[in-house]
Amino acid sequence: MAVAVAESVIVEELKRLLPPEQVLWRDYDLMLYEYDGSIDKHRPSAVVFALSTEQVSQVVKACNNHQVPYTARGAGTGLSGGAIPINGGVLISLARMTRILDIDPENMCAIVEPGVVNLRLGQATAQFGLTYVPDPSSQKACTIGGNVGENSGGPHTLRYGVTTNHTLGLEVVLPDGEIVTLGGSAPDTPGYDLVGLLVGSEGTLGIVTKVWVRLVPIGETVKTILAVFGSMEDASSAVAGMIARRIIPAAIEMMDNLTIRAIESRSKAGYPVDAEGVVLIEVDGLREQVEAEAEAVDEVCRENGALKVRLAKDEAERAALWAGRKGAFAAIGRLTPDYYTVDGVVPRTKLPATLARIQEISRESGFRIANVFHAGDGSKTRPIRAACATRAKCFQRRAAASSCSLGAGAPRAGSRSWPNWHPRFRSTAWHPPSTCTPPRPTSLQKRCTQLTRLARRLRPWAAARTWRWGCRPSASISRSTPAHSSGSWSMSLLISR
Ligand SMILES: Cc1cc2nc3c(=O)[nH]c(=O)nc-3n(C[C@H](O)[C@H](O)[C@H](O)COP(=O)(O)OP(=O)(O)OC[C@H]3O[C@@H](n4cnc5c(N)ncnc54)[C@H](O)[C@@H]3O)c2cc1C
């Protein structure tokens, strides 16, 4: 009752603080914000569209005053339920903070607001011969703030690393409303790596209002290769073979037959519909190195039973192959109107066994499953018909338990960050009443110390827990370690009737 009163009071206060077009509070409008890309749902009491850091801070302070929880939201494409206001309260949308504040070609970095859509940033920096590497398959919609929240990866993070490897600095509104800047345009600022702590914390440690991102030069040459296989086992061996030969392509993506057929029925991307599995490989860099790597890739694929290895002959063919891969999730929608996506982590050597077990579970449960993998960034996804949510969750737990028994990591939905796997940390960035008291604002130094202590407290706690799906989350990648050395794989399972 007290919470309901507090929530109605906060709605009135938000209406006073912000112009009417920045606050939603009618049930009809709130319905659109009760879910993200995952299977859970919860309706907020209000949604605010912040336009500046100061507004975020004001809203956070108001929530604290009234002891109402709040949750940050970007585009809502997350697969781990991070943007669902599981305890109600205020949803703070950053989706209207869309300015690219600066592109600095000399220092190869850019400063952006959190609502900038991932793909737009790459398009804006291309004129300087630079690109922003982390490219989730959802990049046409997802935001840089959400990428930071989830430490997102994508096809091209195999060689170059995930979001944490490309985040230099953050402006953050802390849980008590204080605004701090961590890091900046120079890499490796002295002191504790608080940027590393914040990246992947899913909005639980603060709301990001500005991001300093690292840009890298666009490779002189790029070659895209499609290898066709008669079995997923051969395809997996080819990928493991490449890494074993220390060939680290810019991207390696795998798709199974169901995915290939879905893609071809939608976009005619050029994948052979009779193949059991395909591997899409991209090598980039200096011309001579790219020629040599492409030859080595061809050799390894053939050694591992590739039926055909095809080099994209021009930019149009390359773009079509990538458009097919990046549209894979949408294409699954042609097979069934309802499906559910789940991510997880699979060590390379365990992939064939994991796939075999997935097939078994598919047969037992009667769900069709399509597999799409990023090699190297470490995620694995399973979608289920919305109408069968309970069965879907049971399925997910079983599949997760199996992947753990095979030595794979926890299912991860778009994220490798751990706090979100426990309900206590899911979705609500800060919930002042009873369990947590917001820290008192002091100096930046003290705040940083608090964050560091918090990190120390959370890590062992996280490691000791059995998580939501019956297994533990994967370890996060160190910021200085490229993704490919993590030894993990990323796969997406699309489950449909
Ligand atoms: C079709 C599809 C394909 C996908 N492919 C990939 C993929 O290849 N790789 C991958 O990693 N993920 C993938 N995802 C998952 C998802 O798109 C990513 O996790 C993405 O980074 C989420 O961004 P968003 O803007 O939608 O964030 P949201 O879903 O809105 O939020 C995600 C989390 O970040 C927090 N957050 C949002 N903004 C901020 C902020 N400003 N400050 C602090 N916290 C914030 C939220 O509270 C939440 O916890 C995919 C999802 C879909 C639907």
Residue 236, both tokens:
């997996």
Strand partners, 280: 226, 253
Give the atom of ligand 1 at the shortest distance from the alpha carbon of 135: 8
pLDDT at 346: 78
Give yes or no: residues 117 and 205 share one domain.
Answer: yes
Identify the CA nearest to 250 among candidates 133, 109, 379. 133
Give yes or no: residues 454 and 433 share one domain.
Answer: yes
**Position of tokens 């006073």?**
16
Of 51, 55, 59, 79, which is best to mutate to test ligand 1, by the most ligand atoms within 8 angstroms of its C-beta?
79
Cα 143 to averaged position of ligand 1 atoms, centre (Å)? 7
Cα 131 to averaged position of ligand 1 atoms, centre (Å)? 20
pLDDT at 312: 96
pLDDT at 378: 42
Cα 149 to averaged position of ligand 1 atoms, centre (Å)? 7
CA distance 27 to 380: 34
Of 77, 212, 332, which is best to mutate to test ligand 1, by the most ligand atoms within 8 angstroms of its C-beta?
77
Give yes or no: residues 401 and 416 share one domain.
Answer: yes
Give yes or no: residues 366 and 484 share one domain.
Answer: yes
CA distance 414 to 471: 17
Enumerate residue ranges in the chain where pLDDT < 50: 377-390, 392, 404, 407-447, 458-478, 480-490, 497
Last residue of a domain, one of 217, 247, 265: 217
Nearest CA to ligand 1 atom 12: 414
Cα 414 to averaged position of ligand 1 atoms, centre (Å)? 7
CA distance 35 to 31: 8
Residue 52, C-beta contacts closer than 8 angstroms, at least 6 positions apart: 97, 209
Residue 478: DSSP 8-state: P
* pTM of structure: 0.80
Last residue of a domain, one of 176, 193, 217: 217
Cα 173 to averaged position of ligand 1 atoms, centre (Å)? 19
pLDDT at 402: 53
Phi, psi of 250 (to 5 degrees): -65, -35
CATH code: domain of residue 298:
3.30.70.3450
Give yes or no: residues 141 and 232 share one domain.
Answer: no
Domain enclosing residue 38, as ranges: 2-93
CATH code: domain of residue 88:
3.30.43.10
**Position of tokens 């599981």?**
86
Measured from CB, residues less than 6 Å from any atom of ligand 1 are 36-37, 71-79, 82-83, 94, 114, 136-138, 142-143, 145-147, 149-150, 152-154, 202-203, 207-208, 329, 379, 414-415
Identify the CA nearest to 321 among candidates 284, 374, 267, 276. 267
CA distance 87 to 4: 12
First-to-final CA distance of the chain: 42
CA distance 318 to 223: 8
Which class for 466: exposed (0-12), middle (13-18), buried (19 or more C-beta within 10 A)? Answer: exposed
Give yes or no: residues 182 and 263 share one domain.
Answer: no
Cα 78 to averaged position of ligand 1 atoms, centre (Å)? 4
Number of domains in the chain: 4
State the DSSP H helix or E strand holding residue 172, giving kind and residue range, or none if neither: strand 167-173
Last residue of a domain, one of 312, 331, 350: 331
Of 42, 73, 180, 490, which is best to mutate to test ligand 1, by the most ligand atoms within 8 angstroms of its C-beta?
73
Give yes or no: residues 373 and 399 share one domain.
Answer: yes
Q: Coil, strand or helix: which one is 349?
A: helix
Nearest CA to ligand 1 atom 24: 146
Question: Do 308 and 228 touch, CB atoms closer than 8 A?
Answer: yes
Give yes or no: residues 353 and 446 share one domain.
Answer: yes
Strand partners, 344: 491
Identify the CA nearest to 324 among candidates 358, 274, 369, 278. 278
Please report, to the nearest 10 degrees, the dihedral formed by the alpha carbons of residues 480, 483, 487, 492 taken in order.
150
Other beta carbons within 10 angstroms of residue 360's beta carbon come to: 11
Give yes or no: residues 213 and 230 share one domain.
Answer: no
Give yes or no: residues 121 and 73 share one domain.
Answer: no
Of 32, 98, 150, which is best to mutate to test ligand 1, by the most ligand atoms within 8 angstroms of its C-beta?
150
Number of helical (H) and strand (E) elements in the chain, helices listed first: 15, 19
Residue 28, C-beta contacts closer than 8 angstroms, at least 6 positions apart: none
Residue 25, both tokens:
């509070």
Cα 150 to averaged position of ligand 1 atoms, centre (Å)? 6
Give yes or no: residues 79 and 107 share one domain.
Answer: no
Identify the CA nearest to 55 among candidates 134, 125, 114, 136. 114
Phi, psi of 380 (to 5 degrees): -150, 135
Give yes or no: residues 314 and 340 share one domain.
Answer: no
Distances (CA, A) of 448 to 193, 202, 466: 10, 18, 29
CA distance 91 to 270: 42
Tens digits of per-residue pLDDT, 223-249?
999 999 999 889 988 988 898 888 889
Cα 148 to averaged position of ligand 1 atoms, centre (Å)? 8
